[in-house]
Amino acid sequence: MPERHQDWMRQARLDLEHAWLAAREGHLEWAVFAAQQAAEKACKATTIRSVRRKRRSPTPRPSLSSVRVRYLDRDAVLASLRELATRLGAERPEIQEIRLFGSLARGQRNPFADADLLIVLDASDLPVRDRIPRYKPTRIPLPMDLTICTRSELARELAAGNRFLMRVLGESLVLYSRPGTAPPSPSCVSAPALGTESTP
């Protein structure tokens, strides 16, 4: 089983790939956001690895006692995330939709998965990079990464060919949708996505 720091570093590489693609296509604000996420995850991976090395005992332990098995109950996590998304939508009337994407949404086995959420707003006066503190929920069941945009920003980025958002819509599960909110058009959902690399 991969160690936790390897999962974080793999996710950092994927975020950096998203940043590179966004920058190449001229989506500079999304590129900066993804690059910031990549840097944070790479720092976390380095910190976890450093701490594990310092704590490692010089005396080898029996192999069976050193094995740790972690199990992620996906159904329970999804139920908790839906409850959380419903509560967040009730508290923030500008939230139109909350979607889960990434390995959890795809149903891939990963005991160290975090929750990647796309939050779609009716409108916002905050830059993309400043929205997370306002909308990041509390009492979360597992680590969480947020991508937050308005409906007009989402439509504009999809029309411009933002492959990261195309991938998100193509694989995501709707956790919350405000009544009367129109879903993304079918052409957006079926748009070509990036590769199928596993994300933690």
C-alpha gyration radius of the chain: 18
Answer yes or no: is 195 within a domain: no
User: Which residue would you say has higher pLDDT here, 69 or 158?
Assistant: 158
Is 198 a domain residue? no
Residues facing residue 95 across a β-bridge: 121
Q: Which range has the worst mean pLDDT, 6-15, 51-60, 134-143?
A: 51-60
Question: Treating both helix axes as pointing N-terminal to C-terminal, what angle do 163-171 and 151-159 enclose, rounded to 10 degrees?
Answer: 110
pLDDT (0 to 100) of residue 194: 29
Interval 104-144: pLDDT, tens:
888 877 667 788 899 999 999 998 878 988 998 877 778 88
pLDDT tops 50 at residue 71: yes
Q: Where residue 199 falls among pLDDT bands split at 50, 70, 90? A: very low
Residue 196 lies in a domain: no
For residue 104, tell me if it sits in a domain.
yes
**Bridge partners of residue 148, in order along the sequence:** 119
Please report, to the nearest 10 degrees, the dihedral formed by the alpha carbons of residues 39, 20, 171, 111 taken in order.
Answer: -30
Q: Is residue 134 part of a domain?
A: yes
Instruction: For the chain, report the end-to-end CA distance as a whole number of angstroms.
Output: 13
* DSSP one-letter code for 150: E
Say how many domains are in the chain.
Answer: 1
- Joined tokens for residue 117: 């959420």
Within-domain flag for 21: yes
Domain that holds residue 8: 4-189
d(CA 52, CA 48): 6
We report the CATH number of the domain holding residue 79 as 3.30.460.10
The reported pTM is: 0.63
